[in-house]
Amino acid sequence: MDPYPLVSDCLIHIFTFLTEDDLISASSVCKNWHEAAETPWLWRRMCLQRWSFCSLAALGSEESWKRYFLRRAQLELKMTRGQCGGYTCKSLRGHSGRVVGLAYLQGNSSQCPNVWSSSAIVCSASSDGTVRAWNVQKGELVWCSPVQGPLTGIVVDEKQEVVVTSDSTGLIKTWQGSTGLELASFSVAASHCTLLQYNINTDWFLTVGTAQGSVCTLADSTLTKKSSLMMFDSFNVNVLLVSPDRKWILAGTKENDDLSPKVIYSESLTSPLEDEDPLSQSVPVSGCQAAVFIPTQPARLAVIHHTGHRGNKALTVCDVSIKKTKYKTEIQVQQVESFPLTLNDSSGILLEARSSNCMVLSAGCQLWVYSLKGALLASFQDHTEPISSICVGCFCVVTASRDLSLRVLTWRSDRDQGLTLESRYHLLGGSHSMSRGFTHVACDYSSIVASVEGNDGKDVLKAYSFTS
């Protein structure tokens, strides 16, 4: 009986406990070790342990499990270290005004099988009246819309490749993502709009919050009006969110500390019944400084609001459900957690959520990670000036600041605390003599794009790509 197969099996079992660096080193020891370290099953196991969605069928016959693992691990290492030479930075110039928002039209998802060779497209809207689409890796303009009134907002639908903008007169427009062709327009006659786009099954909807305090819901690429509902008379609806299950819309205003945000049953906005107002219910808190639906929960909502004491803030978590009886249908908003927040600087509060028990909060120069029960998991003060924007991704969190830097933090699992963040490095945006700081940031699995406010009134986008 040949003893070598048994030896190889034992080595392969032992090698399952090694890191990729140790495996590469072990492969050079001797012939048996080399054969064991090159076993496709071993690299497949390592791939599936780290990225459960892996499928070589999507990559083609030229790829191997080892090559896939090493290339993807190298990309994540570049994102984690942020060293010079590990990424390229391109300045995207063309806007002649302030950038009011940016979003990925085609982003590289963490589940994309061939992420290192994919191209990302980012769209930016500006007060110069144009929306522009950019190739992130090439640093090139893809298309630019005709000039109109100063734009005030932008959202995108990656799935259907549709870009939505609003201007200072309340004119809503949709654009074809691949060409920049205008598809439709609709006016809500408001000086400022908050845009929320979502899909329910195969149906496309856009809910618009106006400066007059109403929400208007439009459907399809034709922007057909479905419903309109007054929420906060004469106060701007500047908080607008949709729940992960698309059943609930949250509408709130930051302009009045006494007005509670409201949860609306989305079906009553998108398919309203004749002679019946859309179904809504106030959240039992006072005011709304920031809010987020928990992405891994169907209808769990977190709201930062005022307490009874002047200037004090609290974070309250609620569950939303619907109760139907023979004669009546009601929305129920039930508080499940609430805890006080100590915010020395309460200007520009931003709130995002990563998982069922992890929220990211920023105010002033500080960033915190909280559990839903109020446990402080981590805190950071990496910036010297206020944080203007944050982007929470599956692999990292990026904060943009007026100090003209981006801070990159990566997720890690702590044995005692669960999911938390680790601060990594800064990305610099240029010279203070030319710029006033970062204003917006977005990221995908392999790139980061942020807008820099220029002293001359002409904002520039900085695109950092880690796939080069």
pLDDT for 278 equals: 84
CB 103 within 8 A of CB 156: yes
Whole-angstrom CA distances from 419 to 317, 375, 394, 400 are 19, 12, 11, 22
Q: Once rounded to an integer, what is the mean pLDDT over residues 136-146? A: 95
pLDDT for 418 equals: 78
pLDDT for 58 equals: 59
pLDDT at 335 over 90: yes
Q: What is the band of 30 on the pLDDT scale with cuts at 50, 70, 90? A: low
Q: How far apart are CA 154 and CA 461, in angstroms?
A: 15
Q: Once rounded to an integer, what is the mean pLDDT over residues 174-178? A: 95
Return the minimum-mean-pLDDT range out of 110-124, 140-154, 350-364, 366-380.
110-124
pLDDT for 434 equals: 85
Q: Once rounded to an integer, what is the mean pLDDT over residues 184-204? A: 93
Q: What is the band of 1 on the pLDDT scale with cuts at 50, 70, 90? A: very low
Return the minimum-mean-pLDDT range out of 8-22, 66-80, 373-387.
8-22
Q: Once rounded to an integer, what is the mean pLDDT over residues 165-188? A: 96
Return the minimum-mean-pLDDT range out of 104-118, 366-380, 414-428.
104-118
Of all residues in the chain, what percent carry a pLDDT higher than 90?
62
**207 vs 85: which has the higher pLDDT:** 207
pLDDT for 196 equals: 97
10 Å CB burial of residue 17 (0-12, 13-18, 19+) is exposed
pLDDT for 210 equals: 95
Residue type, position 318, single letter:
C
CB 192 within 8 A of CB 236: yes
Tens of pLDDT along 100-128? 999 999 888 777 767 777 789 999 999 99
Return the minimum-mean-pLDDT range out of 19-33, 109-123, 206-220.
19-33
Q: What is the pTM of this model?
A: 0.90
Q: What is the band of 49 on the pLDDT scale with cuts at 50, 70, 90? A: confident
Between strands 460-465 and 162-167, the pairing is unpaired
Q: Once rounded to an integer, what is the mean pLDDT over residues 179-201? A: 94
pLDDT at 46 over 90: no
Q: How far apart are CA 74 and CA 171, in angstroms?
A: 45
pLDDT for 3 equals: 44
Determine the distance from the C-alpha atom of residue 249 to the mean position of all C-alpha atoms in its chain, rounded to a whole number: 18
pLDDT at 9 over 70: no
pLDDT for 153 equals: 96
pLDDT at 277 over 50: yes
pLDDT at 450 over 50: yes
pLDDT for 6 equals: 45
CA nearest neighbour of 406 among 392, 426, 434, 386? 426
Q: Is residue 237 left, alpha or beta, with left meaning phi > 0 and alpha meaning psi from -120 to 50?
A: beta
Sheet holding 300-306, edge to edge: 286-293, 300-306, 313-324, 329-341
pLDDT at 241 over 80: yes
pLDDT for 2 equals: 42
Q: Is residue 25 left, alpha or beta, with left meaning phi > 0 and alpha meaning psi from -120 to 50?
A: alpha
Of all residues in the chain, what percent carry a pLDDT higher than 70?
88
Q: Once rounded to an integer, what is the mean pLDDT over residues 440-448? A: 94
Q: How far apart are CA 455 and CA 110, in angstroms?
A: 36
pLDDT at 166 over 80: yes
Return the minimum-mean-pLDDT range out of 118-127, 162-171, 389-398, 409-418.
409-418
Q: How far apart are CA 36 and CA 12, in angstroms?
A: 5
Mean pLDDT, the chain, rounded, equals: 87
pLDDT for 310 equals: 66
Q: How far apart are CA 438 and CA 420, in angstroms?
A: 25
pLDDT at 33 over 70: no
Q: Once rounded to an integer, what is the mean pLDDT over residues 227-252? A: 94
**221 vs 186: which has the higher pLDDT:** 186
Q: Once rounded to an integer, what is the mean pLDDT over residues 87-103? A: 96
pLDDT at 7 over 70: no
Whole-angstrom CA distances from 249 to 4, 284, 301 are 64, 16, 11
CB 429 within 8 A of CB 453: no
Q: How far apart are CA 44 and CA 40, in angstroms?
A: 6
Q: Once rounded to an integer, what is the mean pLDDT over residues 57-85? A: 80
**63 vs 334: which has the higher pLDDT:** 334
342-346, Cβ contacts within 8 angstroms, sequence gap of 24 or more: 343/313, 345/386, 346/289, 346/311, 346/313
pLDDT at 99 over 70: yes
- Quote the radius of gyration of the chain (alpha carbons, Å): 24
pLDDT for 44 equals: 80
